[in-house]
Amino acid sequence: MHSFDLTIDRMTKVEGSASLEIRVKDNKVEHVHFKITEFKRFFTEAMKGKPLIALPQLLARICGTCSNAHLICSIEACENALGITPSEQTMLLRLLTTYGLMIRDHALHLYLFVLPDIYGKDSFLEFDENKPEEHQLLHDGFEVKAAGNFLATLVAGRSVHAPYPTIGGFFHFPDKSGVEDAVKKLEAIRPAVLRLIEIYKNAPFRFDRKTNFAALVPDKYWFLDGCINTGKGECLPEKHFGEYLERTVLPYSQASAYKHEGESYMVGAMARLNLAKDRLHPRSKNSLGETLDIFPSTNIFHNNLA
């Protein structure tokens, strides 16, 4: 029987700063703490007294790589405060901005952070250009990431800290030639994405854990509005989430935590697919085929597949 303590002070392959503490006694894991070790930066205080129009760009500085998500979220909060309803065109441009972010960041996560583990390598840089499969994956990763960057830059002005989105609309609109180029680039990476899906569908990792899931579920498969679906037949109004989610203090972590009806829940890619796979675009459903039958899933590693 083995007993040991394991501490990882600075975890790699994560965006941000985090550490991990694990205690094992007689071959049984007794204690796991995942600590977010980012220092407080007091954005709540920094925004006080600032003009409303300036807040989204200020709050987008919470993060670099996912700044456009914070930007869109902050704009929505300001619009809710002012009673502004964005137009259908504005919502579509925001969706495309978000898609650009998701393509780019998911490529970063799946190709650079996770794929080396599947292939038994320390990093993406160890992939061998002389091996056809690894050569293909190297080029796929950078081409998918570039396509996401192009889409976000076309629609929002930059792939990070985008200048075009604002309260009530956009300062600039994509031109026709740029849209045509984006369509070509996105069509070109589609085979690479489908190859990647097959890899993660057959990945050798599995850890099933029953948990609750929560996601915004509108009439389309997107991330901008809709009610909060918890998988329990509930449709919680998005604007009143604070009435349903209880804030929880984690004494070992700098991050805030929340529970719903006293229980933890999971959000993100797997939650969305578990709760809303029927909202996927028909072409996506057709291409994914039996892969969609995997969901709903309790295998935490299927978050990568989702």
Ligand-binding annotation for 66, yes or no, is yes
Instruction: Please tell me the distance from the alpha carbon of residue 195 to that of residue 110, in angstroms, as a whole number.
Output: 12
What does the DSSP 8-state code read for residue 113?
A: I
Instruction: Please tell me the distance from the alpha carbon of residue 154 to that of residue 96, in angstroms, as a whole number.
Output: 10
Tracing tokens 């180029």 back to the chain, one arrives at 181
The answer to whether 157 and 172 are in contact (CB under 8 A) is yes
Q: Which residues of 14-44 are buried (b: 16+ CB within 10 A; e: fewer)?
A: eeeebbeeeebeeeeeeeeebbbeeeeeeee
Ligand-binding annotation for 73, yes or no, is no
Helices (H), the chain: 43-46, 55-59, 67-82, 88-107, 115-118, 132-156, 176-201, 269-276, 282-288, 302-305
Hey, what amino acid is at 301? F
Spatial CA neighbour of 86 closest among 200, 191, 204, 167: 167
The sign one gets for the Cα dihedral 75, 58, 161, 9 is negative
Task: Detail the residues annotated as belonging to a binding site.
Answer: 63, 66
Task: Detail the residues annotated as belonging to a binding site for Fe cation.
Answer: 66
Task: Detail the residues annotated as belonging to a binding site for Ni(2+).
Answer: 63, 66
